[in-house]
Amino acid sequence: MKRVKHQDGSAERQPAKAAPDAKQLRKLAGDWLKQRRADAELSQADLAARLGLKYYTFISQVENGFSRVPTEIMGAWAGELGLEPAVFARHLLRYYEPELHRLLFGAEST
């Protein structure tokens, strides 16, 4: 009778790294945005006013990962931070829609 080895291999395999969930990714995007705003020497209230937003708390919500930069004001947001709109949008796409970013741009980083 032929012996069959148990090939579970679980002890040998490294656990797969779990992909960050949407909330974690939004928080990472918010951290990036907060740093860009600080680099531009703008307060949340300053940025909100320049973007024509009624409440500066929306900036806080985005920076804390509770919301996203709306597509319709991405260009203006980028401009206020002194960033190229296409680069800004592409970078945020990595966080907001990682699979779409991968399909469009591959695994390269921005």
* CATH classification at residue 45: 1.10.260.40
d(CA 68, CA 82): 19
What would the mean pLDDT of 45-51 be, rounded to a whole number? 98
Type of residue numbered 109: S
Residue 11 placed within a domain: no
Whether 17 shows a pLDDT value over 80: the answer reads no
What would the mean pLDDT of 10-19 be, rounded to a whole number? 51
Its domain, for residue 53, covers 22-105
Model confidence over 69-82: pLDDT tens digits? 999 999 999 999 99
What would the mean pLDDT of 57-62 be, rounded to a whole number? 98
Give the chain's domain count: 1
The band of 20, judged by pLDDT with boundaries at 50, 70 and 90, is confident
Find the helix packing angle between 85-96 and 98-105, rounded to 10°: 120
Residue 73 placed within a domain: yes
Whether 10 shows a pLDDT value over 90: the answer reads no
pLDDT of res. 11: 45
pLDDT of res. 109: 54
What would the mean pLDDT of 13-19 be, rounded to a whole number? 54
Report yes or no: 89 and 81 within 8 Å, Cβ to Cβ: no
pLDDT, the chain, mean = 87
User: How far is the CA of 61 from the CAs of 17, 40, 64, in angstroms?
Assistant: 28, 19, 5
Residue 46 placed within a domain: yes
